[in-house]
Amino acid sequence: MSSDDTLRSTAEKQQSQTTGAAVNNNAALARTEQRQDKEESFAPPEEERLRSRTSDVGEAIERHFSTEDAASLASIDRPPSREEVKQPAALVFGPYSIEVLALLAPASIFGVLARLGLLALVKYDGESIFTLAYPQALGCLFMGMALMLKEPLGNFYGPLYTAFTTGFCGSLTTFSSWQLDVFDSWVNSGHYHRDWLRDVIDGCTKIFFTLSIAWASLSFGVHFAHGLLPYIPVSRPPSKPVRYTLAAISLLMYAMTIVTYFELSTAFRHQATAALLFCYPGTLTRYLLSINLNPRLKTMPLGTLTANLLGTALLGVFHVLQGLPSPLSPNACSLLQGLADGYCGCLTTVSTFAAEISALTIDAGYHGLLVLGGRGERCYGGHLSVSVNEVSKHV
Domain membership of residue 175 (yes or no) is yes
Task: Note whether 103 and 160 are within 8 A (CB).
Answer: yes
70 DSSP 8-state letter: G
Alpha helices in 176-239 (DSSP H): 176-187, 196-228
Kindly report, residue by residue over 227-250, the tens digit of the pLDDT.
Answer: 998 898 888 899 999 999 999 999
Q: 84 or 42: which carries more pLDDT confidence?
A: 84
DSSP state string for 126-153: T-SS-TTHHHHHHHHHHHHHHHHTHHHH
Average pLDDT, the chain: 80
The pLDDT of residue 190 is above 60: yes
Q: What is the pLDDT of residue 55?
A: 46
User: Average pLDDT, stretch 293-304?
Assistant: 82
Domain membership of residue 379 (yes or no) is yes
Q: What is the pLDDT of residue 24?
A: 54
Domain membership of residue 63 (yes or no) is no
**Number of structural domains the chain divides into:** 1
Domain membership of residue 111 (yes or no) is yes
Domain membership of residue 169 (yes or no) is yes
Domain membership of residue 66 (yes or no) is no
Q: What is the pLDDT of residue 118?
A: 97
Alpha-carbon gap, residue 250 to 282, rounded angstroms: 16
Alpha helices in 42-97 (DSSP H): 45-52, 57-62
Kindly report, residue by residue over 160-180, the tens digit of the pLDDT.
Answer: 999 999 999 999 999 999 999
349: left (phi over 0), alpha (psi -120 to 50) or beta: beta
Q: What is the pLDDT of residue 19?
A: 53
Given CA atoms 94, 98, 104, 106 in this order, what sign does their dihedral have? negative
Q: What three-state secondary structure class fits 360?
A: strand
Alpha-carbon gap, residue 134 to 210, rounded angstroms: 10
Task: Determine the longest span between alpha carbons in the chain, in angstroms.
Answer: 122
Please report which confidence band the pLDDT of residue 395 belongs to, taking 50, 70 and 90 as the band edges: very low
Owning domain of residue 203? 85-393
Domain membership of residue 242 (yes or no) is yes
pLDDT above 70: percentage of residues in the chain: 72
Q: What is the pLDDT of residue 46?
A: 44
The pLDDT of residue 346 is above 70: yes
Alpha-carbon gap, residue 249 to 62, rounded angstroms: 36
User: Average pLDDT, stretch 143-172?
Assistant: 94
pLDDT above 90: percentage of residues in the chain: 46
Domain membership of residue 269 (yes or no) is yes
Residues paired with residue 360 on neighbouring β-strands, in sequence order: 67
The pLDDT of residue 7 is above 70: no
Please report which confidence band the pLDDT of residue 394 belongs to, taking 50, 70 and 90 as the band edges: very low
User: Average pLDDT, stretch 126-147?
Assistant: 94
Alpha-carbon gap, residue 182 to 176, rounded angstroms: 10
pTM over the 0.85 mark? no
